[in-house]
Structure formats: C-alpha cells, structure tokens
Amino acid sequence: MSDKKTALVISAHSADFVWRAGGAIALHQKLGYEVTVVCLSYGERGESAKLWKQAGMTLEKVKAERRTEAENAAAALGVNDIRFFDVGDYPLDLGRETKDRMVDVIREVQPKWMMSHSKWDPYNTDHMNTTQFALECRMIAQAWGHNPGQKVLGAPQLYLFEPHQTEQMEWKPNVFLDITDVWDKKWAAIQCMQGQEHLWHFYENVAENRGNHFRRNSGGQSGGRNAKYAEGFQAIFPQTVDELV
C-alpha cells in the first residue's frame, strides 16, 4: 500500500475548480498532497460570453483561451496534474465512454478524497450532472468486476464545493476549511480567469464570509481561530473515527 497522499477534483468547466476549491487545492498541495484536477469541458459555449463578444471568435479559439487560463490558474495553485476531457458543455457528454475514462483516472490517482459540485443546480445542469457522474464513477471504481486486474478504489470522501447561488442549490456546508495561508495563491488563480472577471470579487466575498463562519464555529470570541478566508464543503459520506472532536 502506498502512503502517498492524493486528491481528485472533478470540475464541470475549466474555471469551476478555481472559484470553488482553489484554496483547498493550494492548501493540500502545501501539506504534501498530489492534487489532480479533471476539467470535463472548457466551458466554451456556456461560460465564455466575454470571449464570444470579440469579433472573429471561433469555438477552437475559445477552447484554447480557456485552457490557457486554467493551466495558468493550476500553476498558481501548485496543482500536481490537470487534465482536460474536452467533452463539450451545455450540455456535457457524460456517457459510458466518459465514465470509463474517469474511472481509469480515479483508479490511477487513488484519491484520499474527492471534490465536485452541488447535487442540485437548476441554473446550470452541467454542474449537478457532474456530481451524479462523480458519484457513479466512484461507485464503478470500487467494483471488483470492472476491469479486473486494476487496483480498486477504497472509500474516499466526496466533498461538494459551494455553488454560485448557494441558497437556491439546497447545499448546506458541514465542513469549513481555513485557507488564509494560501489565499494569495487562490487570488492569483482567480485573476487568471480573464474570461470571467465579473466573478473575481464575488468569490473574494464568499471566502471572507466563510472565514466568518469558520471563526464562529471554531469558538468565536471564546477562542476561535482568526481565519480571514475559508471555503465551505458538504461531505456526502459518514466519517469513520476513533475519537470525537
């Protein structure tokens, strides 16, 4: 058994991992994890309005621009490995071929934990379909009868990162992660996403608000940690523990 610490983030579009999990990625890379990010699409059709407003824009130009942004952001976060499936968006093509491809990555990475989107998102069904996809691929990766001979997956936690309009998504955080020490890396990664500049300060505000929630839930004025920035997550599966904290 390898003691290597690994993690896997499954992002519907090429910017999602930055806004919603950039702090977690940078922090765990700093803690010695090897974090792999899979972008299922570039968000070329549905999340690239700024680029499409430019004269002479083409689909391939948009894809190339979004890929460059994502690669620059991944470098800013210290991502170990970023992969692009390029299965289109609005909607994503998440058929059996894509599932088998994703299962191969999951079994290769053997993540200690995984991350993806909220379970419900009526504004962008690519997001919630990605979460269902991640759950199904996690299940398949655990099946001994799928590609016998490959190393099967254990039982990594799946964390759902915060959606854009939280109250509309039936998403309730039960984990807050202090990202203050790596906020500079997340902010640098956010600024790489030139095609969606209108979201930069929105997600800065989210991180500040979640920092407040971290402080409150870690003890508040009775001795809580003074976290300035945090990210919230919803854990899907129970934790197995030897001691309660």
For the beta carbon of residue 9, count every other beta carbon within 10 angstroms.
27
Asked if residues 103 and 8 have their Cβ atoms less than 8 Å apart, the reply is no
| pLDDT value for 1 | 44
Report the candidate in 171, 168, 110 with the shortest Cα–Cα distance to residue 142: 110
Asked if residues 231 and 170 have their Cβ atoms less than 8 Å apart, the reply is no
Q: What is the dihedral of CA 136, 18, 236, 170, to 10 degrees?
A: -100
- Which DSSP symbol is given to 180? G
For the beta carbon of residue 244, count every other beta carbon within 10 angstroms.
4
Helix axes 200-217, 183-190, angle to 10 degrees: 160
CB-side neighbour CA atoms (13 Å) of 93? 8
Pairing of strands 175-178, 230-235: antiparallel
| pLDDT value for 221 | 81
Report the candidate in 235, 241, 199, 216 with the shortest Cα–Cα distance to residue 47: 199
Q: How far is CA 172 from CA 118, 182, 229, in A?
A: 9, 24, 18
- Tell me the two tokens of residue 234: 């919803």
| Block residue for tokens 């609005």 | 90
CA atoms of 180 and 183, how far apart (whole Å): 5
| pLDDT value for 245 | 79
| Block residue for tokens 């894509």 | 98
pTM of the model: 0.96
Pick out the chain residues at pLDDT < 70. Answer: 1-2
What would the pLDDT profile of 176-212 be if each residue is shown by its tens digit?
Answer: 999 999 999 999 999 999 989 999 999 999 999 999 9
Report the candidate in 177, 91, 84 with the shortest Cα–Cα distance to residue 132: 91
| pLDDT value for 2 | 58
Cα angle vertex 179, ends 177, 185, to 5°?
A: 145
